[in-house]
Amino acid sequence: MLEQLLYAVRRIPQLALRPVARRWFKRIGRNVKFDPLDHFNYREIEIGDNVFIGPGAWFAGRKITIGSNVMFGPRVMIQAGRHDYSATDGLMNRQPEQPSELVAGVTIGDDVWIAANVTLIDGARVGDGSVVAAGAVVTGDIPPNSIAAGIPARVIRARMPVAEWKEYRRSVLRKHQTS
């Protein structure tokens, strides 16, 4: 029964989700596809055009910026924010959320693939044209044109040689730049 319900919910056409999406995102571009059961909160997410977000996404926190032509595999988690844990006069579950001025945010460039089960925490930045391998935890900067993997995510190699990347950026990326 639950399975049938979930199946039905997942078949809601993307067009019907558009009005809801406008309330979930601060800015949402054209042709952004996501699963109706994905979770987006705080209405602080800015997202470009032609973005695919897989099922099980959980994007929470302030200052989340996603470029255009980005794809997310299933179960990607973005947590742009955290709890403070410095007070020693009270229990952990009484500690406040970090104030938004101290949140660095999470930024993902254009033409990026974030694979399955990746977690991006506050301060994560993924440059244009990069790939983050399945299961990675991104805690800092992943430069453009990189393949990154692991916990914490580290660059394992360049996606393409520098000369090719320069040409790719000049021709392919620029051609598809949308906003």
Ligand X SMILES: CC(C)(COP(=O)(O)OP(=O)(O)OC[C@H]1O[C@@H](n2cnc3c(N)ncnc32)[C@H](O)[C@@H]1OP(=O)(O)O)[C@@H](O)C(=O)NCCC(=O)NCCS
Residues lying near ligand X in the complex (CB under 6 A):
73, 115-116, 131, 133-135, 147, 149-150, 156
Smallest gap, in angstroms, from Cβ of residue 18 to ligand X?
Answer: 23
Cβ proximity to ligand X: between 36 and 56 the closer is 56
Smallest gap, in angstroms, from Cβ of residue 128 to ligand X?
Answer: 17
Query: In the chain, which ranges are E strands?
Result: 27-28, 32-33, 39-40, 45-47, 51-53, 58-61, 64-66, 71-72, 77-80, 106-108, 113-114, 119-121, 125-126, 131-132, 137-138, 141-142, 146-149, 154-158
Smallest gap, in angstroms, from Cβ of residue 159 to ligand X?
Answer: 9
Say whether 83 is catalytic: yes
Cβ proximity to ligand X: between 102 and 134 the closer is 134
Smallest gap, in angstroms, from Cβ of residue 153 to ligand X?
Answer: 9
Residue written as token pair 């360049």: 158
Q: Which of 10, 83, 157, 166 is catalytic?
A: 83
Q: How far is CA 81 from CA 11, 67, 126, in A?
A: 32, 20, 17
Give Cα 25 to chain centroid, integer Å: 13
User: Rounded CA gap, 55 and 77, in Å?
Assistant: 11
Residues labelled catalytic: 83
